Chain A
């Protein structure tokens, strides 16, 4: 419930703020830009800077699945110090285990919250701390078995993928508006949204491919969501190819708007039908039995820090998108106005020439 409010609220707030102050075609107020900048900075700093620290169950799952003694971060409170080189750590779930800290140079006191990079020695069945990662951290990211430190990509990959879809829907909306009102401004807006969509689509593909390489073993697996992001990339490419092939401005706006609307069919198919029809690697595929940690209604699928950070990253990247969209639309509108003025003056010049040739240029000089 809380998760839904956080993430849904973050996105909704960004959408409201993106559309409301000044609209999407006029300059945003200064506070709006500062807010976006601050949120983005906070997202990036937190996503890279917060330490990862696991509880005992997730620690055990990770070390078991890796089948080695590479140290993993353990997060908890030191509740006891029985001897000098030993502490008893209590994790967030209340599990207590003794940990050998004789190799850690820093002094540890009882009552401190620490993240210890720890190995579990299988032969002797005991925990040995290798390094003190963080003392009294402001917040920690959970240790997710199978993802570990790679989980940080979530805060960049998911917003990019979401924005590439949002941009597509906005371009689609502006295309419909254009066809209803026939105002070239709407076409400028559709183009701006599509161009940004293409950028975020490339970002989502690249971050996803790198993530897939280190998590699933290959850059590209033709998982249904990879198929659909590929389709969206092709769509953006085809849209701009079509635009460049139409010389007449009015016709270009009309035909490309129609093409965008036609593309709603495959996009809907690939977003809503295919990923749930075919087995895949992303959460929410036909064989995974749930709709993924973010969308699942269960509370404990995402740790609270992660929920807040995820909501923040969705919020700030959506704001960034609206900022970029705003700048692009405004430059597009300026260009449109300039083109119109030039077309107007060209017409005037042509008229002058006609008048001059008709009357005789040596008789009359028009200003």
Chain B
């Protein structure tokens, strides 16, 4: 196996293991998802939701879930003082991709949970093409993970992490939101995957571009 891939997996495994020891991020993400969906369910009540509003609400919850949960990766390294060790033992690329891998996993988990809970709790929202729905949620999760990993790396050493995170993430995520909300709405209305391949491709392309640019930029912020 290539050393790069081996190192990347090692970083991801280290993160996952330390995460499973405390389950801090997992628990807070899961609880955040449950609370968010419950708040929406209670405030919307038995109201009939149009697919546009349902898609928008799912996206708002996904955005805030991601912003709350995905920033941990680099910030926890700084807080525990382990960033220097990581910097000494590995080149920047595997560190970035390892963290990205963990974030993709977390984003996929939390967004799937969120979408499932949302559809279960809002009995009157129906998804007419479930296959497309799943693909869109998955691709959006990739985009979220890509954007939020590099933002987390940027603000890991700044003073006001919590308040700054959504502010910095918003411009990078906004294209995803604009494309994603519309795609989700169309999936709920029953348009098949083949008929929205253009916009879905654009969404995937944007996610890939963010990851690529992040990979080039990561060296510059990770090295001292």
Contact = CB atoms under 8 A, between A and B. Distances in A.
A257 B220 CA distance: 10
A264 B150 CA distance: 14
A261 B214 CA distance: 10
B68 to A, nearest CB: 18
A182 B178 CA distance: 36
Contacts of B168: 238, 241-242, 259
Interface string B144-157: 00000010001101
A245 interface: yes
B210 interface: yes
A265 B209 contact: yes
Contacts of A273: 175, 202
Given A238-B168, A258-B154, A245 B206 contact: no
Contacts of B175: 265-266, 269-270, 273-274
B46 interface: no
Nearest to B166: A238
B155 A251 contact: no
A254 interface: yes
A257 B158 CA distance: 14
Contacts of B214: 262
A262 B172 contact: yes
B199 to A, nearest CB: 9
A263 B169 CA distance: 10
Contacts of A235: 171
Interface residues of B, number: 25
A172 B197 CA distance: 32
A259 B221 CA distance: 10
Interface size range of chain A in the complex: 20 to 34
Interface in A228-272: 231, 234-235, 237-238, 241-242, 245-247, 251, 254-255, 257-259, 261-266, 269-270
Interface in B169-212: 170-172, 174-175, 178, 202, 206, 209-210
Contacts of B217: 258, 261-262
Given A179-B220, A262-B214, A265-B209, A246 B157 contact: yes
Contacts of A227: 178
B213 interface: yes
User: B168, B202, B206 — which one has the most chain A CB atoms within 10 A of its CB?
Assistant: B168
B171 A231 contact: yes
Nearest to A245: B158
A189 to B, nearest CB: 18
Given A241-B168, A265-B210, A269-B206, A231 B159 contact: no
Given A234-B171, A242-B154, A258 B178 contact: no
Interface in B46-84: none
A181 to B, nearest CB: 13
A154 B214 CA distance: 38
A258 B221 contact: yes
B96 to A, nearest CB: 13
A175 B157 CA distance: 20
A117 B45 CA distance: 60
Contacts of B202: 273
A255 to B, nearest CB: 5
Interface string B128-162: 00000000000000000000001000110111100
30 contacts: A179-B220, A231-B174, A234-B171, A237-B167, A238-B167, A238-B171, A241-B168, A242-B155, A242-B158, A242-B164, A245-B158, A245-B159, A246-B158, A246-B159, A247-B159, A254-B220, A258-B154, A262-B172, A263-B171, A264-B213, A265-B172, A265-B175, A265-B206, A265-B209, A266-B175, A269-B175, A269-B206, A273-B175, A274-B175, A274-B178
Interface of B: 150, 154-155, 157-160, 164, 167-168, 170-172, 174-175, 178, 202, 206, 209-210, 213-214, 217, 220-221
Please name the 7 residue pairs, one residue from A and one from B, whose CB atoms are nearest each other, closest first.
Answer: A245-B158, A269-B175, A245-B160, A245-B159, A235-B171, A258-B217, A246-B158
Given A245-B155, A245-B158, A274-B175, 15 more contacts: A231-B171, A231-B174, A235-B171, A237-B167, A238-B168, A241-B167, A242-B155, A242-B158, A245-B160, A246-B158, A258-B220, A258-B221, A261-B217, A263-B171, A265-B213
